[in-house]
Amino acid sequence: MKKSILAVILILSLFSACTQNSEAVVVPSTETATQTAVTVNTTNTHEIDSNILEFTAANPEITVTKAGNYVVTGSTTNGRLVINAGDEAVTLTLQDVSIESETGSAIRVRSAGSVEIILPEQSNSVLISSVRDDDNSEAISSNSDLTISGGGGLTLTSNGNGIHSDRTFTMNGGTVMINRAEEGIEAATINITGGSIAITAFEDGINVSDGAYNADSYNQSGGRVYINAAGDGLDSNNEINITGGTLIIEGPTARDNAAIDYDRAFNIDGGTVIAVGSRGMNVYPTSGTQTFIGANIAANAGDTVIARDAAGNEIAAIVLSKKVENVFISTSALVKGETVNIYVSEDSGERFAQTAVAGEAPQIGFQGSTFGDGQPPQFPFGFDDDRFDDDDRYDD
């Protein structure tokens, strides 16, 4: 069978423009787009369509105070969008907007019943928080439930978290690139049902916590997630539940973190998970209908780690961007109790690395289980962009 290669390209988005310091407050219409006053520096008034929020040199900061559906456009290099709508629902459609904030989050949700961010097809928006303040440096920060949907793109860069929600973050669609962040996504509950997320983080990639040690669960039923993290790749302070989709993790090289970490339970009932990293704190699933393999190996950046069944058929492969000591794989192609051989392809050729038995954890690791009867082969993973080199087996 043809090798599947997962190749990661980290894309940095940079832009610049003039710096501004004024603020605009928008009070929207309730049903239709009518003309509403926008105050700039409390001295200049401009009449605009209240449902169109455009960042300009004269209008770099906008505050939304009422429920509504807003289209956000334009650019600013020292501004932000603030939502202060009480318990009302707000929808933001990001239409090729660029917001860089030197004073806080690019989008700050102080209050709202819920906020949905829609990424229209063919659109590409950029949010940057360049402030160095641990409490005020997320690219998107929300005190409310936050949802991202649509089919366009969003690039986030931050000195803090890429996305933070005190409550629930849900990813339904679109492509989100978190290029650089302390932690990629942090929320009390994280639901991934669709879309694509690629995270580069210098601490945890995804952290299931509201920032105050309250946590529910990471739940993935669809979508595609790639994480490259120096800390824990996926860290849940409660549960991890995977029933579908694709999760690819390149975790830490240091042994005080792990590619996957959880406190209470790790359940796999479907989907595809490939996680590589160090071997000091490895954990394994506690339950589920889909089995797994785990193996301690030695491989370096640029090598390809390949898992093959006893007949030599390839199950999965990943090209590494850093050295690894442990590999974890769960797909419906695995059958409990069957032997899987792990190989490492390097410049000098391919070498045998380790044998694993599906459903059995290797000796080093704090959790382990034996479960899963296996299902017919199914290969749902493969990003639809240049980060991954797919073949037709991996189409959704």
Residue 10 above 60 pLDDT?
Answer: no
pLDDT at site 255: 85
DSSP designation for 239: E
Q: Give residue-wise pLDDT tens across range 346-388.
A: 999 999 999 999 999 886 543 333 333 322 222 223 333 333 3
Q: How confident is the model at residue 323 (pLDDT cuts 50, 70, 90)?
A: very high
Closest CA to 174 of 273, 241, 92: 92
Residue 129 above 80 pLDDT?
Answer: yes
Neighbours of 209 (CB within 10 A): 20
d(CA 199, CA 354): 29
Instruction: Look at 14-18, 114-118, 236-240, 316-320 and tell me which has the smallest mean pLDDT.
Output: 14-18
Residue 281 above 80 pLDDT?
Answer: no
Q: Give residue-wise pLDDT tens across range 217-245.
A: 999 999 999 999 999 999 998 999 999 99
Q: Where are the beta strands (DSSP E) in 258-338?
A: 260-262, 265-268, 272-277, 293-299, 304-309, 314-319, 324-330
d(CA 35, CA 303): 59
d(CA 293, CA 206): 22
